[in-house]
Amino acid sequence: MGEITVSIIVPVYKVERFIERCMRSLLEQTLQSVEYIVVDDCSPDKSISIAKQIADCYPNRKVMFITHETNKGLPSARNTGLKEAHGEYVFHCDSDDYLSHNALERMYLAAKKTDSDIVWCDWFLTYEKSERYMKQPSYLTPMDALKGILSGSMKYNVWNKLVKRELYEQNDINFPSGYGMGEDMTMIRLFACSKKVLYIPEAFYHYVKTNSNAFSQTYSDRHLTELKYNVEATLGYLKDKYGDRLEMEYGFFKLDIKYPFLITCDYGKYKLWQSWYPEANKYILKNKKVSVVRRMVQLLADKRQYWLIYVYNKLVYRFIYSIIFR
């Protein structure tokens, strides 16, 4: 097979409706010398048997299946894949999503040409009958990208980014086992340790949203605990590395983390927003990298004008938005 270009890590848990499309999109990539690491996180359905049937249709592809004896969660599944990866670069693909056929070739060749540590691209928010193009910002330096992520103008998802494997290894970076909510914040550490980054202004990744009406995030007490753990761990890492140089960006990041509490018609979530990181509220109007609407909604929350936020969500998210993108 020769030198492995990219290791694709695919955590699998209860995705039998989607796994065939995901696997075919990966196995039909135009890039050669790719290894596929499929991690079965003790999935109780037929996901793995389907994945193996699809893999058998592509005998020239190197596909490895690893099984967890117990369900350990998404971060642990990603870590299991990283331990087995041999590729020069690593790409994470969630098993209910899929890739355009030339995604890895385009991203890998661009990474090699520029010797970039991280390459990211645009993506599609994919519903059952439609898609929305999600444009990402372009940054020339890792620090600019890091500031963009902290401000909320760039997503820190792991799944639309190609990362040098040595960036994980040399900086002892892995995913927070046991703390799945917000585990993508690991990408922030990777950007903080990178020396060169690159943006490709094309969408290759299809992020599948199964419920077009689910605009608000549901949080259990456990989810909130995990989320706060990852926020604190990420901020602690950055403060150790940069001190107070990014103090305003830390404030922006806290606002970005709690903003989803306002995308709902639940007054309890509005009060949760008020209780989380109130010290960050002074930065609401200073973050010019997010929309005016977003700043105004947060300003209303800071002033406890919850009824206006309720009306806004009722009209926009529950009616207009669902009609356009359903």
Q: Which domains does the chain have, with CATH numbers?
A: 6-208 (3.90.550.10), 221-325 (no CATH)
Placement of tokens 């909320």 in the chain:
152
Where does residue 2 rank: exposed (0-12), middle (13-18), buried (19+ CB within 10 A)? Answer: exposed
pTM, entire model: 0.93
**By the 8 A CB rule, do 149 and 256 touch?**
no
Rg over alpha carbons for the chain, rounded to the nearest Å, is 20
User: What's the pLDDT score for residue 321?
Assistant: 56
pLDDT in tens, 185-234: 999 999 999 999 999 999 999 999 875 444 456 788 999 999 999 999 99
**By the 8 A CB rule, do 324 and 129 touch?**
no
Q: Which of 280, 283, 127, 142 is nearest to 206 (CA)?
A: 127
CA quadruple 27, 176, 283, 239: dihedral, nearest 10: -120
**By the 8 A CB rule, do 105 and 34 touch?**
no
Q: Give, to the nearest 10 degrees, the angle between helix 292-302 and helix 306-315.
A: 140
d(CA 273, CA 63): 44
Q: Which helix (H) or strand (E) holds 79?
A: helix 74-84
Q: Cα dihedral sign for 205, 155, 234, 220?
A: negative
d(CA 89, CA 209): 27
d(CA 266, CA 116): 43
Strand runs labelled E in 127-282: 131-134, 161-164, 197-208
d(CA 248, CA 219): 27
Collect all residues with Cβ–Cβ distance below 8 Å to 73 and sequence separation of at least 6.
41, 177, 178, 180
**Nearest-5° angle of CA 188, CA 190, CA 192?**
70
d(CA 22, CA 94): 8
Tens of each residue's pLDDT in the chain, 326 residues:
568 999 999 999 999 999 999 999 999 999 999 999 999 999 999 999 999 999 999 999 999 999 999 999 999 999 999 999 999 999 999 999 999 999 999 999 999 999 999 999 999 999 888 899 999 999 999 999 999 999 999 999 999 999 999 999 999 999 999 999 999 999 999 999 999 999 999 999 999 987 544 445 678 899 999 999 999 999 999 999 999 999 999 999 999 999 999 998 899 999 999 999 999 999 999 999 999 999 999 999 999 999 999 999 888 765 655 554 45
